[in-house]
Structure 1
Amino acid sequence: MTGKTIVYASLGPELWVYDLDTESASLTHVTTHCFDEVVQYAWPTRDFSVLYVAISGAGPMAEVERPNHAVIACHILSDGALAPFGQPVRLDHRPLHITLDPQETHLLAAYNIPPMVTVHRLGPNREVGDEVEQDALDFGETVHQVRVTPGGDFAIVPACAHHDNGLTPGRLDIFAYADGKMTPAAQLVPDPERAAAWQSEWFGAHGFAARHVDFHPSRPWMYLCLERQSEIALFDYDSTGVAPRPRFIKSALEGGPTGPSAQLASAIHVHPNGRFVYVSNRAWDTEQIDGKPVFVGGVNDITVFEIDPDSGEPTLIQHADTGGIFPRTFSIDPTGKLLVAGNEQPGWLPSDDGPRRVTPGLVVFRIGDDGCLTRTKKIDFPDNGEVCFWTGIVSVALETNQDAPANGASAVAV
């Protein structure tokens, strides 16, 4: 069965669709879908036949925040175009992250303001249905993600505790999970020995700014990205829970380019072969040069770690610059050959000829047998004030969803 590899990338309320050639690493534009509000995140089914898209009229990029939030189910057609089906499910707050449980019977959504998680049943045709009623749950401050462990036993909820003066600690909540119901099981909190140095730091979260996790494909290892610390941590887990302390903590900035900008780590993904783990680093601070706000220097890259096959220890082996500003999200194609990152922000970079304008866009990297990245392609989006908030990759069989109704580039209303 032949198929296509499809890249999705948001630009404000638009979702751009590209055909990715895994041999040449080239991107061909297929279509652009326009939603009512800014695309926040998306998550596909395991067979890549459906993509769930979260949108919101609120968030840091909204000039005027609108209380218009929803999740929309879309068939993925054979060329990667999307065909919405069912009714958009309205949400009370801005959904920052969404995922499916391993059984693909429920969709889970994470919110940072207020910090919470909701769980929604999926219908027989994979449409998003009713919300599962939960007991009163406490999630800490600034929830940024929700994931369910591969065995389906636990829901993991990182809270990175954004606070200007660093007064609020971060944490990682572990909830027992069954049939959409979440029950408190454990709470991982900052290590007191590490907390003091971060208690007065911007977004410091007492040294535990837990943002995103990802799971090793074959070993019971969970890798956590610590946002403000720009670190990754390895936790063991099994069917009884998650270890209370990480076995390894490694910097994602070591050996990278130095610069005065503040740094925030962002996304984390384990390679499908389980030999490497990748983390994105973001920097954005500016200074005035020739009347323009020019980037002062820092790390905007994908950092590559090699995983020890016996211990799970990650060892930093490469910094791969994205050639832009603030790479918030990235994705690895299912074959493990290519990685595509999305530079979120427009801005100005210094150069010998004066400030150089860069826009949001996509960067394609080829993944070597050693896990290292080689940048092969860069696509710039229009400089229209919108940002690239999410990117993702799916693999679509040519026979999949051929009969689903196409919607081309029409607007998707909620």
Structure 2
Amino acid sequence: MGDIPAGRAFIGSFTSAGGRGIIAASVDGETGGLTETGASDAVADPSYLALAAGPGGPVLYAASERAEGAVAAFAVDGPAPRPIGARVPVCGEGPTHLALASGHLVTANYGSGSVSVLPLGANGEPVAVSGVLQHEGSGPHPDRQRGPHAHQVMADPSGRWVLAVDLGTDRVRICALDPGVGELALHGETRLRPGTGPRHLAFHPAGSHAYVLNELEPTLAVCRWDADSGVLEALGEAPLLPDGVTGPVYPSEVVVSHDGRFLWAANRGHDSIAVLALDETRERAELVTTVPCGGHWPRDLALDPTGRRLYAANERSGDVTWFDIDPQSGVPHRAGSLAAPAASCVVFA
């Protein structure tokens, strides 16, 4: 397997809104600063990226958030991403997220409310869809929850399960992936408070808990995770904004610190990053403060591999801003930014 080179970052950006597709950047090890090295617009509207070691070197995967959803693979051994093979339809609409699971690429298709599975070819490239799991149901929100909207998909830390977060039905679905046939089977589901619109989740480093970010209400659902039984149990909620904040706010992403002490969430509309402290039980999250995201409409957050810096992809201001994290308080302090029109996400080697 080819190793993933250190000191690189890859930024997705929406081409339909003036973005450049996938931007590659070098990362300064001392300052965390990003410097663009090249870009590729070979895939339209890359909403999310994932990086993995491939047979001949590292492979970057991109989800194309279009009505006819697709995925594409890129080699990243040069200054700009280079396509590997052709884009492959996912048999779903508007994929917003993708992940690697059991040697397959899995996508969350927001528009069609489904999850697709694609095997990988000899060079790590995705090939034709082997299975599609269609979600069912709705929620109380009159516009956003008329039907299912799978927004995120990921493998749990044990690698045994695939979890799909569905904004349209207020549920997290737990599935088993059969690598032999490339199909998902529904194992169970967790129903969250109606109308909250769960968007993304992040696991605690210990693997025992997960934190589900709600988009339709600025709250975080704290959950206990049992990998042996594949059961996600909702325990309670924590606010992502101080009392008295008004106006529409749409949280977008959640990440947990490498030491499991802190959690950060991006708030679109409020244009802030919420800082929450996790107690020793991992079952209580308390809002510490919020800080400006450094731009407008933070769509994604990511930690660098060291866990010392936090990066925000600010979609509408067109930048990726990075922050130094205070190790004692968990509070991020702005350190710089890189222009990236219509930024959708950022991932690190």
Partner of 1:393: 347
The Cα shift of 1:275 comes to 2.2
One-letter code aligned to 2:41: C
Structure 1 residues 178, 308: closer, same or farther in 2, change over 3 A?
farther
1:242 aligns with 2:241: no
Asked if 2 retains the 8 angstrom alpha-carbon contact of 1:139 and 1:159, the reply is: no
1:111 aligns with 2:109: yes
Larger Rg: 1
Between the aligned residues of both structures, percent identity stands at 24
The Cα shift of 1:40 comes to 1.4
Runs (4+) off by over 6 Å: none
Rounded to whole Å, the distance in 1 between the matches of 2:250 and 2:35 is 31
Deviations 1:297-324 (A, max 9, x none): xx21111222223344222223121132
In the comparison of the two structures, how many residue pairs are matched? 326
Q: Which moved more, 1:177-186 or 1:334-343?
A: 177-186
The Cα shift of 1:25 comes to 2.8
Asked if 2 retains the 8 angstrom alpha-carbon contact of 1:22 and 1:338, the reply is: no
2:335 pairs, out of 376, 399, 410, with 376
**Matched ranges for 1:97-246 at <5 A:** 97-101=97-101, 103=102, 105-133=103-131, 138=136, 141-161=148-168, 169-179=169-179, 180-191=182-193, 206-238=194-226, 239-244=228-233, 246=234
The Cα shift of 1:278 comes to 1.3
One-letter code aligned to 1:43: A
Asked if 1 retains the 8 angstrom alpha-carbon contact of 2:223 and 2:283, the reply is: no
Partner of 1:83: 82
Rounded to whole Å, the distance in 1 between the matches of 2:71 and 2:150 is 18
Structure 1 residues 36, 219: closer, same or farther in 2, change over 3 A?
closer
Rounded to whole Å, the distance in 2 between the matches of 1:232 and 1:212 is 10
Structure 1 residues 237, 177: closer, same or farther in 2, change over 3 A?
farther
Query: When the two structures are superposed, what TM-score results if normalisation uses the length of structure 2?
Result: 0.85
Rounded to whole Å, the distance in 2 between the matches of 1:135 and 1:259 is 39
Deviations 1:84-124 (A, max 9, x none): 213321233221111111x4x00101111111010011123
Rounded to whole Å, the distance in 1 between the matches of 2:192 and 2:66 is 33
Q: CA RMSD in A?
A: 2.5
The Cα shift of 1:208 comes to 3.0
Structure 1 residues 252, 78: closer, same or farther in 2, change over 3 A?
same
Partner of 1:22: 29
Greater relative CO (CA pairs within 8 A, separation 6+) = 1
